Structures are given as structure tokens and as C-alpha cells.
Amino acid sequence: DKMHDMEIEGNLLHQFRTIMNFFTRNLRKVQVEKEFNSIGELEIPYESLTEYVVNALVHRSLNIKSPIRIFIFDNRVEIHSPGTLPNGLTIEDVKNGTSMPRNMFLFTNANYLLPYTGAGSGVRRALEYNPNAAFSNGVEDKEITHAANEFVITIPRESNQVQAESNQVMIANERKSNQANEKNNQVQAESNQVMTANEHKSNQADKESNQPRVNLVTRKLTKKEEDIRNFCSVPRTAQEIMDRLKISNQSKNRQKYITSLIELGVLERTIPEKPNDPNQKYRRKK
């Protein structure tokens, strides 16, 4: 963001969404698949950022009049949460899944306010997505001095940018050396491209005529649909979603609360090519 400082106020859900939007605006997207047109993913896994932000919002100390602070540096992201770990809890305890809530009101209601995934499991899940994150519990580092009353999570950003720029220079040099040959083949390539484009349009028209048309309706989500969208910030099975809603896992319920959200563009399948795959899960569409 162009502004150096931004204050985020409001209820917990609004704070969570604004923080995650701040991350998605300012972190780089990287291509994880070989295809040129594949959709890029955040350099820091979105799922791990979700867990760390929820952890800061739910477990911060309210006795300290200091805000949660979010920093994006060139080589790292930092999340500063007021208050060190309570009751003798150590960093190793947190990594191993030990949970010791500081504020029972926030803890017991987090399941309904935020995409909360369960006591003690959030940090372990985040480390599975990004094992290079480091935790500081009110200590001083040689490079960074943390306040004695803060719990700080430091997540390194992708370190392959220099290598990527070097590869880009190599590709540019190769393009220059092959430019003469490319000019000789350009006319034929353009002719083939026109033919391919026409064939593609014809095939696309045939496909569209043979496929059922999906009626996408833009409307305000209900409270249950909003809850499902937030709950699926991490991939969920149909059974987990039905358990969340406390209803049976029947086809009519899946149609009402899962398939309808997929058609609206709110959710997406993790295995789109096999809708009925037994390992199918559903996640919030970015």
C-alpha cells in the first residue's frame, strides 16, 4: 500500500478480513504450476496467514493497551500480538499443539466469529503449510528487537526472487539470439495462429452449445452461507460443513449449502475434474 500506516478498527470479523485483504494486495503471487496461464498463489500460503491472524485476534492480551501490528518487509512478514505467552506456556508447547486460552470469552465464541479451526491445531496446521515461520516470545534478536511484552510471528518471504530475476536475464539473452530465426518463421506462425484461433472459437462454440447453462445470481449471502464461506478458508469436506451446520449429510442439504455456493462463485472444489471424488473438499474461492 502507498500509505505507510493504516488503522483497522471494527468487530473481529471485519478486522480479520481487512488484514487478509492487506496481505493479498501487497504480497507477491508466484506460479506453482508449469503452465504459463496457471493462476498464481501468494508467496506465503494463504492458509498459514489465516491461522496466524486468527491466533493473534483470539489470544492477544487485552490488559495491554497496544494494538496488533502487521508489517510487510522486503524479506519477511511480521505479526505482533500484545502480551507474551500466558501461564508459563513455551514456544515449543505452541508448536506441539498445547492450547491455553487467555480470554475464555473470545476463545469460546471464536468458532462463530472467525474461520477458527480448533484449539491447539491452528499453529501446527500453519507450520505444515509454511515450516519456516519463527516465533519470538518477548525476546531480543540480533537483527530485530521485539518488545518484552509481545508475541511475534516472523514469516520469511520467498527468497528466490534474485534467482528468478537472473533467469529472466538469461531468457532475455536467449530471445535476442533467436530473434533472427523467429523473424523468418513469423509469417507462417501468424498464419497458423489465425487458423488455430478460428478452430478454437469453433470448438468453444460447440462446447458452449452442448453444456448446460449455469444461472449465476449475485445476491447477498445469508448468515449460514457467510459462515460456510469463512469456515472454508481452509479446505473442508462435505461432512465437516454439514457438522458445522448441525444438519445431516444428505444430497438436498449439500445442494442447498455447497453446490449453490459453488454456482455463485463463493466456493470451489479442490478436485474440480472429479466432483464425486471421495477425497473431495471445498474451499473459499479467492
Number of H helices, E strands in the chain: 11, 8
How far apart CA 84 and CA 171 sit, in angstroms, is 49
Q: What are the distances in angstroms from CA 141 to CA 69, 77, 84, 131, 281?
A: 18, 16, 16, 20, 41
CB 237 within 8 A of CB 271: no
Whether 54 and 47 have beta carbons less than 8 Å apart is answered as no
Instruction: Report the pLDDT value the prediction gives residue 89, as an integer from 0 to 100.
Output: 81
Backbone φ, ψ for residue 271 (5° rounding) = -125, 75
What local confidence, expressed as pLDDT, does residue 29 receive? 82
| Strand, helix or coil for residue 174 | helix
Concatenating the DSSP letter of every residue in 17-59 gives: HHHHHHHHHHSPEE--SSSTTPPPEESS-HHHHHHHHHHHHHH
Chain-centroid distance, C-alpha 205: 34
pLDDT on residue 166: 45
Q: Is the pTM of this model over 0.75?
A: no
What is the model's pLDDT at position 35? 63
pLDDT single digits (tens) 193-232: 655 565 666 556 555 545 444 445 467 889 899 889 999 9
Domains identified in the chain and CATH numbers = 12-160 (3.30.565.60), 223-284 (1.10.10.10)
**Chain mean position to CA 26:** 13
pLDDT on residue 79: 93
CB–CB of 107/58 below 8 Å? yes
Q: What is the C-alpha to C-alpha distance for residues 144 and 197, in angstroms, rounded to an integer?
A: 55
Q: Which residues of the chain have pLDDT under 50?
A: 142, 160, 162-163, 166, 169, 209, 211-215, 217
pLDDT at site 19: 92
Residues 99, 120 contacting (CB under 8 angstroms): yes
Distance CA 60, CA 5 (A): 21
Q: Give the model's pLDDT for residue 212.
A: 44
